[in-house]
Amino acid sequence: MSAQITVNIAGSERSVPEQTTAADLFGDDRAVLVARVNGELRDLAHVLADGDNVEPVTAAEQDGLDVLRHSTAHVLAQAVQEVNPQAKLGIGPPIRDGFYYDFDVETPFNPEDLKALEKVMQRIINEGQTFHRREISDADALAELADEPYKCELIGLKGGAADDAAEGAGVEVGGAQLTIYDNLKKDGTRAWGDLCRGPHVPSTRVIGNAFKLMRSAAAYWRGSEKNPSLQRVYGTAWPSKDALKAYLDRLAEAERRDHRKLGAELDLFSFPDELGSGLPVFHPKGGIIKREMEDYVRRRHIEEGFEYVGTPHISKDGLFHTSGHLPYYADTMFPPMEFEGSNYRLKAMNCPMHNLIYKSRGRSYRELPLRLFEFGHVYRYEKSGVIHGLTRLRGFAQDDSHSYVTKEQAAAEIKHLLGFCLGLFRDFGLDDFYLELSTRDDSKKDKFIGSEEQWAEATATLEQVCVESGLELVPDPGGAAYYGPKVSIQARDAIGRTWQMSTIQYDFNQPERFGLEYQAADGTRQQPVMIHSAKFGSIERFLGVLVEHYAGAFPVWLSPVQVVGIPVAEDFNDYLWDVLKQMKEQGIRVELDESDDRFPKKIRNAAKAKVPFVLIAGAEDQAKNAVSFRYRDGSQENGVPIADAIAKVLAAIESKAQV
RNA sequence: GCCGCCUUAGCUCAAUUGGCAGAGCAGCCGCCUUGUAAGCGGCAGGUUGCCGGUUCGAUUCCGGCAGGCGGCUCCA
């Protein structure tokens, strides 16, 4: 008697009784967490309608994984309120690799609290509580959630504003219809509930034991420092215990590569307290890497038509008023030093000074593109909490260039710069990129200077070049500098993390503010456009990225020590030194381990220092006028004739090879 | 800048309820040493980040500052 409806299941039509739910179709497969009905994610309990297109969704795809993590966040919130009924709920969305949930609690969570909460969560999960969707009117929701001030605030914002409210707020209050998800125990009683758009997994049981609370930290409510600070608990959840373990292993690998740790172990650089936060010193070994990078990058710039210039570290502040930086970036410049009736500022950017070089005499169209380049040391007053190793400093060197071009030349110059940057990264062993195009935010016009037309033209020029590059392009609305749009190159490292490297910016503002001009072929005076570009962004930062990318085991050309000689016994010191001396004469960086340590200890020391070539000599080698190599992976190459050994090392340096 | 946690020898870490601060590695000295990640012995190393408070007594408890870590906000 029951009427039938037709639904389309994962591409094939099927007739099913009315009131059939997605769970009826897929419920037997426990891997199915939710359903996608006509393109929208729905609970498995969702009742299907005639003509619906239904697909099963598992944690194998991102949508399913997000739902799993979102549901785990709910279990966390339930556990928190079970332990502390006074805790007020913020939001709890899935994020990359996990989830978080924000709480307003009297006392912040400590690591023991997290352990205890994990236990409560595991109990809830093992109980197999089920998630039930309940539609509710705004008024009823406000009454039911009277004790949850943050949820009430979200209800007030529901609709278009909610997504702007905070990352993830849309997860709580999505569309027009509010819903509450109740967690029901086996006996049908309500254990807990939360305002939530859903969908959720059918039962807490599917979370299993593949979750972990990672850390707690403060976060501003709705992402604004004007709002109260909530306590955020970060967690992670995966489809299986093995996947969780793989994730934790990845984190451990990232920690192992941490440039701050390796920088100290390999004696590359340090951050002396006496200097102040965010101000590094490079030790001799780090200095070698830094200089190799600089030498190479300087040479490449010159080959690409740039001219190397030099400018001072401080200037009277009028310059930065002319450039427009001071009104916009005074907060991130160090305070002025007053003397001789002027205020001097440490420079936070090099472009104004390059503009002065441009202006130092009349310029002809024949000189354009005019490309000025330097390693410009800039100082920025970064807030104390954001300083981070070599990646966020208060003083650093930019490999900064400014190309002065005619408007017509702009596109070609940007293309030239983009190709140049990508080539440089490849030379340093990074070859996986995408682009990000940062544009003006039209709703915040006071953050930007220049006319609509200028912005439109600049943005179109950049975008055209990006698209032509064929690289993946990610939009970043509102991310532009005040003076113009920019494209940045993001590089993926050896373990898949991305780092922002180069920026290329189209600037029509500063030429105007500085009154830059050139004389055109027809005798008229015209205004050039300037293209800012930093290839590595900052030398220090790029060095930090390389340390992590290579886990401290640099390619030979960048290695501080390229060959370390280890004699099998003291008697072979002279023989080995004779070989090393020949290498040294060819510019190879060599060391001889003449210490009193025994042979195996010397091997160990060289391995810990991650030296690419360990050169060994004993009686067998000497008898054959040869040497032996030991590589970083422990492999060996014995009895190599001396001339071959030298050629081998030279070839590895020349080809920028990793060994 | 905001929130939380942390700071003991050059490094990694100990120190029972507040009662004389200890180990490994590194360093220095000596002995030993012919084949691929730690040979043996000895010596030295500290105003427990800094300043103040409580106490008979503070590495330990409290406050301030500095630096670090994790987030938030920010990132020309």
Query: Do the beta carbons of residue A324 and residue A513 sit within 8 Å?
Result: yes
- Residue A327 pLDDT more than 90? no
Backbone angles phi, psi at A405, to 5 degrees: -140, 165
Task: Give the pLDDT band (50/70/90) at residue A167.
Answer: very low
How far apart are alpha carbons A320 and A300 in whole angstroms? 30
| Averaged pLDDT for residues A498-513 | 92
A256 CB contact with strand B at below 7 Å: no
Could you tell me the CATH number of the domain that includes residue A620?
3.40.50.800
Task: Give the pLDDT band (50/70/90) at residue A81.
Answer: very high
Active site residue A345: no
| Averaged pLDDT for residues A439-443 | 82
Q: Is residue A659 part of a domain?
A: no
Q: Give pLDDT tens digits for A348-389.
A: 999 999 999 999 999 999 999 999 999 999 999 999 889 999
Q: Which residue has the tokens 């539609």?
A: A135
3-state secondary structure of A85: coil
Fill in the DSSP letter of residue A334.
P
How far apart are alpha carbons A639 and A596 in whole angstroms? 25
| Averaged pLDDT for residues A95-116 | 86
Find and give the residue nearest to B69, measured CA to C1'. A388
What pLDDT shows up at residue A215?
A: 86
Q: Kindly report the bases of strand B lying within 7 A of a protein C-beta atom.
A: 1-5, 11, 26-27, 30-39, 66-76
How far apart are alpha carbons A372 and A354 in whole angstroms? 7
Domain of A84, in residue numbers: 62-253
State the nucleotide closest to A220 in CA–C1' terms. B72
What pLDDT shows up at residue A640?
A: 96
- Residue A102 pLDDT more than 60? yes
Q: Give pLDDT tens digits for A557-587.
A: 999 999 999 999 999 999 999 999 999 999 9
State the nucleotide closest to A438 in CA–C1' terms. B76
Q: ipTM higher than 0.90? A: yes
Task: Give the pLDDT band (50/70/90) at residue A174.
Answer: low
Active site residue A325: no
Q: Which residues contact A341 (CB under 8 A, 6 or more apart)?
A: none
Residue A467 and residue A574 in one domain: no
- Output b/e per residue, A514-523; b: 16+ Cβ within 10 A: bebbbeeeee
User: A539 to each of A47, A293, A444, A480, how far by Cα in Å?
Assistant: 58, 8, 32, 22
Q: Which residue has the tokens 């990225």?
A: A545
Q: Is A532 labelled a binding residue?
A: yes
Could you tell me the CATH number of the domain that includes residue A495?
3.30.930.10
Domain boundary, last residue among A549, A565, A593: A549
3-state secondary structure of A202: coil
- Residue in A74, A67, A82, A125 with CA at minimum distance from that of residue A101: A74
Active site residue A486: yes
Backbone angles phi, psi at A95, to 5 degrees: -135, 180
Q: Is residue A481 part of a domain?
A: yes
Residue A339 and residue A474 in one domain: yes
- Residue in A290, A287, A288, A270 with CA at minimum distance from that of residue A278: A270
Token couple for A45: 């309990």
DSSP string of A444-460, one letter each residue: -GGG--S-HHHHHHHHH
Residue A473 and residue A535 in one domain: yes
Residue A283 and residue A213 in one domain: no
Domain boundary, last residue among A489, A524, A549: A549
Task: Give the pLDDT band (50/70/90) at residue A330.
Answer: confident
DSSP string of A103-124, one letter each residue: EE-SS---HHHHHHHHHHHHHH
How far apart are alpha carbons A432 and A22 in whole angstroms? 41
- The CA–C1' separation of A117 and B51, in angstroms, is 39
Could you tell me the CATH number of the domain that includes residue A39?
3.10.20.30
Active site residue A532: yes
Q: Is residue A258 part of a domain?
A: no
Query: Do the beta carbons of residue A138 and residue A152 sit within 8 Å?
Result: no
How far apart are alpha carbons A42 and A20 in whole angstroms? 14
- Residue in A167, A149, A32 with CA at minimum distance from that of residue A92: A167
Domain boundary, last residue among A194, A227, A253: A253
Residue A518 and residue A568 in one domain: no
Query: Which residues 524 to 583 of A reach strand B, CB within 7 A?
Result: 532, 568-571
Amino acid symbol at A368: L
Q: Give pLDDT tens digits for A191-237.
A: 999 999 889 999 999 999 999 998 888 888 888 878 888 889 999 99
Residue A53 and residue A78 in one domain: no
**What's chain A's length in residues?**
659
- Mean per-residue pLDDT over chain A, rounded: 91
Q: Is A402 labelled a binding residue?
A: yes
Active site residue A402: yes
- Residue in A298, A394, A387 with CA at minimum distance from that of residue A348: A394
- Residue in A61, A66, A82 with CA at minimum distance from that of residue A127: A82
Query: Which residues 471 to 500 of A reach strand B, CB within 7 A?
Result: 479, 481, 486
How far apart are alpha carbons A504 and A507 in whole angstroms? 10
A149 CB contact with strand B at below 7 Å: no
Backbone angles phi, psi at A209, to 5 degrees: -115, 25
- Residue in A272, A270, A266, A339 with CA at minimum distance from that of residue A561: A266
Instruction: Kindly state the percentage of chain A with pLDDT values over 90.
Output: 69
Q: How many domains does chain A have?
A: 4
Q: Which residue has the tokens 């500063």?
A: A510
Fill in the DSSP letter of residue A484.
B
Task: Give the pLDDT band (50/70/90) at residue A418.
Answer: very high
Q: Is A351 labelled a binding residue?
A: yes
What pLDDT shows up at residue A101?
A: 94
Residue A567 and residue A485 in one domain: no
Residue A235 and residue A127 in one domain: yes
State the nucleotide closest to A636 in CA–C1' terms. B36
Q: How far is CA A164 from the centre of its chain?
A: 23
Q: Which residue has the tokens 């990646």?
A: A391
Angle among Cα A257, A263, A269 to the nearest 5 degrees reads 155
Residue A225 and residue A94 in one domain: yes
Q: Which of A78, A196, A351, A454 is catalytic?
A: A351
| Averaged pLDDT for residues A642-653 | 97
- Residue in A24, A64, A203, A37 with CA at minimum distance from that of residue A125: A203
Could you tell me the CATH number of the domain that includes residue A68?
3.30.980.10
What pLDDT shows up at residue A482?
A: 84
State the nucleotide closest to A391 in CA–C1' terms. B75
Residue A35 and residue A76 in one domain: no
Residue A33 and residue A80 in one domain: no
Residue A319 and residue A451 in one domain: yes
- Residue A111 pLDDT more than 80? no
